[in-house]
Structure 1
Amino acid sequence: MTTAKDPVAAFPGHGAETSAAHPAGLAAPAHPGAFDPESTLRLRVPPVRGSEPAPGYTFDEITRANWALGPVPDRGWSPEPGSRRTWVSRALLACLLLVQAVLSLRLHNTAFEDEALYIYAGHAMIGHLFHGVPDYGGFSTYFSGSPVLYPVLAAWVDSAGGLTAVRLMSLAFMLGATGLLYSFARMLFNERTALCAAGIFAVSQSTLFLGYFATYDASAILLLALSTWILVRVAHGHWALPLAAAPVAALAVGVKYASALFLPTVAALLVLAAHRHLGRRQALLRGAAFTGGVTVLLAAGLATTDYLQAIRSTTTERAHGTTSVTTMAWDCFRWGGLIFVLACLGAALYTRRDRLGEVPGGPRTGPGAGWRLALGAVLAGTALLAPAYQLHLQTSVSLHKHIGYGLLFAAPMAGVGISRLMGAHFRFPQAAIAVGVLALTLGMSQSAQNYGVWPDGSHLMPELAKNVRPGQKWLGQPHEAPVYYLSHAGLTDYTLWTSIYYIDYTGRRGRHLMGPDGYRAALDDGWFDGVVLDWSDQPGDVQTLIRGEMRTSGRYRLASALTYRTSVGTGHFEIWLRLPSAHTR
């Protein structure tokens, strides 16, 4: 007689292959751990007669029998990725890189003053290094990076393809940084977290802006990403392997001095990655080897160059500004707040629970809570370094660019946060979609706004080309872009232009005059053949002085006035030419 508690044995045709281990009536696999799709789909349902269940059965037992599933294999979520998962992840990464490239290439404007200055300085340094031309620019005394590294490379690319080619080089650097971010985030976590990290970083305003901007920053970020990738990759190997990343990290500092601010984060990641598998002693040994190698290389660089003055003036002892802390804090939140909040969320959730996969059960073999907390604090906290330093200085110059350095390291933990918001098996995809849409919207709008801060000089350059003659002396703001564009036509060079930031003029009586007195005396003497002014809604004191002096001296006339509109206001360029009889010296 069949018992009421054995629903399988009550029906003919259900043999010994269904044991007590499978009360729902599913066929047992051939051996433990094996997966039989056919048996998973074959449900054993007790008969129902009318509105009553079969004798000896309850509706709860029948319901459980209908909905019971067989054993689910966990190979799809194995820590070791298969070839299919690897190629799918790479295809998704390629799509992210394509989106990043398109969003950066949509930006357009004429050369910013820093872009023009660095490229022209590179041409001057090439002439000095390879052709014996005197180093008249003094670039090593005030550049924020070595003038023989990025500027020389940018000038070489400019000779081949102009400003567009140099900006495309920056795009290649930022795409490479995103790819390296994906790679070392995958090594620290998994593919899904790495894709989320790469996606949130790829559409941030700093990434999009620097992806089509010809300055040091894109190359410095790439070198930081490369050094981090090398260290995470070799952390489990021989203790001397981290020395391979020392030249890359030192080169990043040489390209952009402020990159040194992020070297402690790079070293900390090495120690944490090694500590997880090798223990404290071996981790500290590898961290000491890397730190020692970078220190020796940087010390050698300082001992053989004269860059210390520039490092002090542009980085360590930079002049304080007057921007309010409230304004700067709001800018920091607008440009990097989303990634930072996601990184903090990811750090908190990762510290609470280590499992990153989708299988709820299984052995717990992940790192301890202390290690997870340290990793989260290092990655998320790095996003605060550049904002904190510039808040201390109260200067917002280049803040929208410098935020991107810290976001490179915060992005992996932000990827953890996004992954946890989605849940296992993408249970809440709407959360990730909402975050992605918000990040994309902010990145596109903010990068376009920052790219339109400086005026478009496409109408100014042709007008200047009509008036500038070889050998003429000009006073200008801006002057970097005119020098860059007009030097290609052989009309002028850097030595013939004076900016509104510095003047050392020898007056009629042989006195050296600087500042307002220098500008006033030079204009009264008719020293400059022409003057170009950027007259915006809020002109500076020096611009007001120059304009007033030209109006009252009777030695200059207004030749052209070209209006423009930027993302922050309106203004116009003024071109003043010296009268033929006004040159008294």
Structure 2
Amino acid sequence: MSGRPRPPRWARDRTPDPQEYDETAAYGQYPAVEAYRQGGAPGAQTPSYADTGAYAHAGAAQAPVREYVSHPDAPYAPNPDFGTVEVRAWDPYAVGRRPQPFVPVHETQPTPVHGTPKAVVREPGYTLPAVPESAWSVSSRRGVLLGRVVLCLVLLVQAGLSLRLKGTAFVDEALYISAGGYQLEQWREGTPLPQDFAGYFSGHPKLYPVLAALVDERFGLGGVRLTSLAFMLAATALLYALTRRLFDIRSALGAAGLFSVLQSTMFLGNFATFDAAAVLLLALGAWAVVRTGSAHPLAVLLAAPPAALAFGVKYAAGLYLPTLVVLAVITAGRRPGLDRGTGAGRGAAGALGRGLLLGAGIAGLLALGYLYSEPLGGISGTTTGRAKGTDAPLDLLYASAEWGGLVFAAALGGSIAYALRARMVERPWIDGIAPGRARRIALGTLLTGTALLAPAYQIHLQSQISLFKHVGFGLLFAAPMAGLGLARLVGPHFRHPQLGILLYVSTLVFGMVQAQSGYSVADSAPMTAYLRTVVDGEGRYLADESEITTYYLRDRTDWGQWQNTFGMEYRPESGEPLAGPEAFAAAVRDARFDAIVLRGDIYPQNTDAAEKALKGNPHYRLTAVFPITTSFGTGSYRIWVKR
């Protein structure tokens, strides 16, 4: 019996189709078969119908090249003394289908049977890369570009959410811009300040107020608010950058996205006060601390100027300076290419020294600034020695949870997950190296715990004043852990995207409602337009919100012509000096003011005393009433003019 294997049953029983099994059309293009036909192999003979049928089912349209190799399972053996023909990717059951690509490991050339075949090793043409746990786990150039594109979309959403808030000037906005204008006049013309602004401002009066006044001179209140928006957008971008260096792009986008839809972020992005500038400087300081973690220890001093300036701009920012110092310790010495044992380069003592160096730099700059500045009574009056209020601790805790509870919960979950597992898709600091558990716990505790500083301090003061803004300061530091928590919630390969969407949308909805409610300011435009026809540069005027009237009517009146209802001392023509409600009542009875503007809900006791003195007073007549509506209810501006 011949050494040729028996053809398969389908090749023996099937009636041949000349079009399908035409040897010339099907096999003339294959070098191995053509060489065999022309006697390339010893003892070659024409292939039989069964042999050609076996080749036809390999697919004539894209048949692979055949070589003579020693392969005992080949479907056709023309000469047992020479070898067999190997059909690559041959599937006898895949009739008419294109064969799958096949890459042989060894390839041999036709060699006489008495010779030794020489194997030629060929490298594979394509190797599948290792599948990462997530497509975002490596900060490739494509991933970085995609992250920046998404960040731009986040910033556009943030800008739109802030710009949707509209209204006339708040009291604080009018006060700071007016104070900056008077400071500029003192520098330019030498005129004295109408009041000691440093004695009760919550930030240095020569920093942000001057900047706001310069912008207001050219672009008005809208320009100053756009400056605050630019500050908040830059803070979000810096938050993205530092979170990406701590973890990865996914966590960075989550941190930026959640922070951008907080009510405090929306509000401060269209609010012309100290706060937006202070948030930006804190973000810049935190980014500088993380960015210089693997650099020379002295590089951490780059974070000292923005940190010290943040305190000067807004004294409440000093509450977060210890966080920057401890962050400098935790992020010290993570150098690429070094393992955890040598990554610090200096050990625990070097990390501690880095933190002390930053603390000393900040303290030195603050001392230098205080030395060359006038007395700043506002530090104690508005921050360190602020008088205690009457708000209940539970009410303050509830308000804090309402304004930042979702992001804080996400940060808490991210801290726990980070402590339990070093990495899902994150690559902290360097490739392939994860920080130890102690470092992970310290980082999560520091950043998440910072969000509790403002609520805890204001619960101590029993005061809710500015709490809605200060909550955002702490959430700036908790946002990296919240972004990490969002990434862990979604899971690798975006396994549970609906959970991340739910968290983001919930934060967005709460933030929009809360920001709109808090930004509801009384429309003072009709009132100030009417007063423009009443006031002049000689009279004296009483107003609940004298800061607003001073700002809008600064071209017709001066600061000293206006008296608010916060407090006043008044000495009647005959009698002892008076203070409080009695002083206002006596001044109104004596017709000391040429016009009076009252709302009734700013300082109720003093306003009520003035209103009682106006009843039946022959010196004044009610000339205008302008209804107002805010989220806190309805009211009106009532204007009395001296007869």
TM-score tier (shorter): 0.7 to 0.9
Q: State whether structure 2 residue 472 is matched by structure 1 residue 407.
A: no
CA contact (8 A) 2:183 2:193 kept: yes
Give 1:36 deviation, angstroms: 6.8
Which one has a bigger Cα radius of gyration?
Answer: 2
Q: State whether structure 2 residue 506 is matched by structure 1 residue 448.
A: no
Residues 148, 11 of structure 1: alpha-carbon distance in 2 compared, 3 angstrom cutoff: farther
Q: What is the match of residue 533 of structure 1?
A: 598
Residues 15, 300 of structure 1: alpha-carbon distance in 2 compared, 3 angstrom cutoff: same
- Whole-Å separation in 2 of the counterparts to 1:528 and 1:29: 102
Give 1:539 deviation, angstroms: 6.7
Q: Which amino acid aligns with 2:534?
A: N
Aligned residues: 525
Give 1:506 deviation, angstroms: 3.1
Q: Which amino acid aligns with 2:642?
A: R
CA contact (8 A) 2:406 2:507 kept: yes
Q: How high is the TM-score relative to the length of structure 2? A: 0.78
Q: State whether structure 2 residue 529 is matched by structure 1 residue 462.
A: yes
**CA offsets per residue over residues 359-393 of structure 1, 9 Å max, x none?**
9xxx9731111110100001101111111111111
Give 1:310 deviation, angstroms: 1.2
**Bigger shift: 213-222 or 320-329?**
320-329
Q: Which amino acid aligns with 2:608?
A: T
CA contact (8 A) 1:560 1:576 kept: yes
CA contact (8 A) 1:29 1:36 kept: no
Q: What is the match of residue 21 of structure 2?
A: none
Q: What is the match of residue 253 of structure 1?
A: 311
Q: State whether structure 2 residue 351 is matched by structure 1 residue 283.
A: yes
Q: State whether structure 2 residue 224 is matched by structure 1 residue 166.
A: yes
Residues 79, 406 of structure 1: alpha-carbon distance in 2 compared, 3 angstrom cutoff: same
Q: What is the match of residue 544 of structure 1?
A: 608
2:578 match: secondary structure: strand
- Whole-Å separation in 1 of the counterparts to 2:74 and 2:321: 71
Q: State whether structure 2 residue 538 is matched by structure 1 residue 471.
A: yes
Q: What is the match of residue 114 of structure 1?
A: 172
Q: 1:100 aligns with which of 151, 158, 175?
A: 158
CA contact (8 A) 2:198 2:376 kept: no
**Bigger shift: 235-244 or 313-322?**
235-244
- Whole-Å separation in 2 of the counterparts to 1:295 and 1:327: 35
Give 1:546 deviation, angstroms: 0.8
- Whole-Å separation in 1 of the counterparts to 2:622 and 2:136: 74
In the TM superposition, 1:423-434 aligns within 5 A as: 423-434=491-502
- Whole-Å separation in 2 of the counterparts to 1:164 and 1:311: 29
Residues 556, 365 of structure 1: alpha-carbon distance in 2 compared, 3 angstrom cutoff: same
**Bigger shift: 278-287 or 172-181?**
278-287
1:508 match: secondary structure: coil
Q: 1:504 aligns with which of 569, 576, 592?
A: 569
**CA offsets per residue over residues 58-115 of structure 1, 9 Å max, x none?**
xxxxxxxxxxxx7634497586522111111100000000000011001001000000
Q: Which amino acid aligns with 1:548?
A: K
**CA offsets per residue over residues 461-508 of structure 1, 9 Å max, x none?**
111112212221001111111110111xx2111111111112122321
Percent sequence identity over matched residues?
Answer: 44
- Whole-Å separation in 2 of the counterparts to 1:116 and 1:35: 73
Q: What is the match of residue 521 of structure 1?
A: 586
Residues 567, 270 of structure 1: alpha-carbon distance in 2 compared, 3 angstrom cutoff: same
CA contact (8 A) 1:320 1:393 kept: yes
- Whole-Å separation in 1 of the counterparts to 2:389 and 2:446: 29
**CA offsets per residue over residues 275-330 of structure 1, 9 Å max, x none?**
55312121111111111011111112222323442101100010111122222211
CA contact (8 A) 1:194 1:415 kept: yes
1:213 match: secondary structure: coil
Gap runs ≥5 in structure 1:
1-8, 17-24, 40-69, 580-585
Gap runs ≥5 in structure 2:
1-71, 76-85, 90-99, 107-122, 335-342
Q: Which amino acid aligns with 1:310?
A: G
Q: What is the match of residue 44 of structure 2?
A: none
CA contact (8 A) 1:358 1:425 kept: no
Q: What is the match of residue 450 of structure 2?
A: 382
Q: Which amino acid aligns with 1:502?
A: G
In the TM superposition, 1:184-195 aligns within 5 A as: 184-195=242-253
Residues 11, 284 of structure 1: alpha-carbon distance in 2 compared, 3 angstrom cutoff: farther
Q: 2:181 aligns with which of 123, 131, 154?
A: 123
CA contact (8 A) 2:281 2:309 kept: yes
- Whole-Å separation in 2 of the counterparts to 1:162 and 1:130: 20
The structure with more helix, counted as a fraction of residues: 1
Question: Structure 1 residue runs of 4+, over 3 Å off?
Answer: 9-16, 25-31, 34-37, 70-80, 509-512
Give 1:332 deviation, angstroms: 0.7
**CA offsets per residue over residues 208-263 of structure 1, 9 Å max, x none?**
00000000000000000011111111121111111122111111100001111001
Q: What is the match of residue 345 of structure 1?
A: 413
Q: State whether structure 2 residue 558 is matched by structure 1 residue 558.
A: no
Give 1:534 deviation, angstroms: 0.9
CA contact (8 A) 2:455 2:467 kept: yes
Q: Which amino acid aligns with 2:484?
A: V
Q: Which amino acid aligns with 2:248?
A: N
Residues 36, 270 of structure 1: alpha-carbon distance in 2 compared, 3 angstrom cutoff: farther
CA contact (8 A) 2:103 2:124 kept: no
CA contact (8 A) 1:35 1:71 kept: no
The CA RMSD measured in Å over matched residues stands at: 2.6
**CA offsets per residue over residues 415-468 of structure 1, 9 Å max, x none?**
01000010010000000111111111111111111100x311122111111221
Residues 90, 414 of structure 1: alpha-carbon distance in 2 compared, 3 angstrom cutoff: same
Residues 417, 508 of structure 1: alpha-carbon distance in 2 compared, 3 angstrom cutoff: same
Q: What is the match of residue 48 of structure 1?
A: none
2:599 match: secondary structure: strand
Give 1:554 deviation, angstroms: 2.8
Give 1:121 deviation, angstroms: 0.3
Q: Which amino acid aligns with 2:288?
A: I
- Whole-Å separation in 1 of the counterparts to 2:385 and 2:124: 66
Q: What is the match of residue 116 of structure 2?
A: none
Give 1:573 deviation, angstroms: 0.8
- Whole-Å separation in 1 of the counterparts to 2:307 and 2:290: 14
- Whole-Å separation in 1 of the counterparts to 2:333 and 2:608: 61
Q: What is the match of residue 234 of structure 1?
A: 292
Q: Which amino acid aligns with 1:141?
A: G
Q: What is the match of residue 334 of structure 1?
A: 402
Q: What is the match of residue 296 of structure 1?
A: 364
Give 1:557 deviation, angstroms: 1.4
**Bigger shift: 394-403 or 106-115?**
394-403
Residues 36, 111 of structure 1: alpha-carbon distance in 2 compared, 3 angstrom cutoff: farther
Give 1:176 deviation, angstroms: 0.2
